[in-house]
Amino acid sequence: MAKRSMIIIALVAVFGVVGWMVAAKVDRSGELRVASASAPVKELLEQASARESEGQKIKAKEAYEKIIADHPDYEQVEEVQERLGTLNLNIITSNTDSPHSLKYRVVQNDSLGKLAKKYNTTKELIKKSNGLSSDVIRVGQSLRIWTAPFSVIVDKSQNILMLKTADEVVKIYRVSTGANNITPVGSFKIATKLANPVWFKPGSNPIPAESPENVLGSRWMGFDTDPHYGIHGTTEPEKIGQQVTAGCVRMRNADVEELFDLLPTGAPVVIQD
């Protein structure tokens, strides 16, 4: 079974702290080997699996968080982190009750756009959370709305992007950053959001979204202080994890589409070395 060195990220969720641990050899099969785990980890893995199968997502989340916080030396802790990220997103984008969500009763003249602005969220997230296939909402309809703000931290030294909500890490993505470390560091805000963006390549005619030469991929989220920099998709997913861009933060298309639906305009982004 193939193995390779990876950076393992341990999330101490109880305190809202991200800890970093370097390089261990981990099994990349995607399956958690319960039988070979220590007794405490085995018990927590079984609890998480059982709670997930019962639909108790918050309880399952707590079990995964405890593994990461209390057993960071578990050889498959990165796989646990990935499962936790998937579960966190499932909680956020479903109608699961959470301390960070509320139930809203639609009144006259409401719209998804107005509600998204009021609660600093996105229309896409409201629609996903409520199983809506269109923007139409009805007076008296009950909507589940996520209220905790989202933010992003990009760590150039490890080429990772951390999505956070209410100071808790939701999910960690591998990204590409600027060649020769040119991606700017500092604090930014998402100023523009474009689906299927046209690439206005310097010295060239505009490159349409459907062109394989359009390096922006399927989504663009531009920064406020310099419109030339932002977070976007890619046509070269094999280069994710490397410092190869002209300065932007590059993600796999599926990942940037996931992020695009969660981050409202104005969401803070911090880039650090």
- CATH code of residue 105: 3.10.350.10
Least confident window among 88-92, 215-219, 226-230: 226-230
Q: Quick one: pLDDT band at residue 227, thresholds 50, 70, 90?
A: confident
Most confident of 7-16, 24-33, 125-134: 125-134
Last residue of a domain, one of 129, 146, 163: 146
29 and 117 within one domain: no
Residues 48 and 123 in one domain: no
CATH number, position 205: 2.40.440.10
Residue 247 has pLDDT above 70, yes or no: yes
C-alpha span between 25 and 6 (Å, rounded): 7
Q: What is the pTM of this model?
A: 0.85
CA 49 to chain centroid: 22
* Together in a domain, 140 and 182: no
According to the model, what pLDDT value does residue 125 have? 98
Q: Assess whether 185 and 111 both reside in one domain.
A: no
Query: Would you say 90 and 57 are in contact if contact means Cβ atoms under 8 Å apart?
Result: yes
**What is the overall mean pLDDT for the chain?**
88
Q: What pLDDT does residue 169 have?
A: 95
Angle 57-70/39-53 helices, nearest 10 degrees? 160
Same domain, 159 and 234: yes
Shared domain for 119 and 85, answered yes or no, is no
pLDDT given at position 19 = 39
High-pLDDT (> 90) share of the chain, %:
81
Residues 156 and 264 in one domain: yes
The active-site residue, picked from 71, 100, 228, 248, is 248
pLDDT tens track for 181-223: 999 999 999 999 999 999 998 888 899 998 999 999 999 999 9
HEC letters along the chain: CCEEEEEEEEEEHHHCEEEEEEEEEEECCCCCCCCCCCHHHHHHHHHHHHHHHCCCHHHHHHHHHHHHHHCCCCCCHHHHHHHHHHHHHHHHHCCCCCCCEEEEECCCCCCHHHHHHHCCCCHHHHHHHHCCCCCCCCCCCEEEEECCCEEEEEECCCCEEEEEECCEEEEEEECEEEHHHCCCCEEEEEEEEEECCCECCCCCCCECCCCCCCCCCCEEEEECCCCCCEEECCCCHHHCCCEEECCCEECCHHHHHHHHCCCCCCCEEEEEC
Give me the pLDDT at residue 8, please: 40
pLDDT of residue 23: 32
161 and 221 inside one domain: yes
The domain boundary, picked from 93, 109, 130, lies at 93
Residues 109 and 187 in one domain: no
| pLDDT computed for residue 201 by the predictor | 84
Average pLDDT over every residue of 239-258: 97
Looking at the structure, tell me whether residues 142 and 157 fall in a common domain.
Answer: no
Task: Determine the Cα–Cα distance for residues 82 and 160; give it in Å rounded to an integer.
Answer: 13
Give yes or no: residues 266 and 188 share one domain: yes
Query: What is the predicted pLDDT for the residue at 33?
Result: 65
Domain count within the chain: 3
For the stretch 110-145, pLDDT in tens is 999 999 999 999 999 999 999 999 999 999 999 999
Supply the pLDDT for residue 4: 33
| Token pair listed for 44 | 């927590």
pLDDT-based confidence at 90, cuts 50/70/90? very high
Q: Provide the pLDDT confidence category of residue 34 given band limits of 50, 70 and 90.
A: low
Say how far apart CA 266 and CA 252 lie, in whole Å.
22
Enclosing domain of residue 8:
3-93
Would you state the pLDDT for residue 13?
36
Q: Which candidate, 258, 249, 173, 252, places its Cα nearest to that of 217?
A: 252
Same-domain status, 71 and 116: no
**232 has catalytic annotation:** yes
Confidence (pLDDT) at 5? 36
Structural domain ending residue among the three candidates 93, 112, 133:
93
What is the identity of the amino acid at 273? D
Buried b (16+ CB within 10 A) or exposed e, 106-130: beeebebeebbeebebbbbbbbbbb
Residue with tokens 């998804």: 112
Catalytic residue among 71, 100, 228, 232: 232
pLDDT of amino acid 31: 64
- 230, β-bridge pairs: 222
pLDDT on residue 167: 87
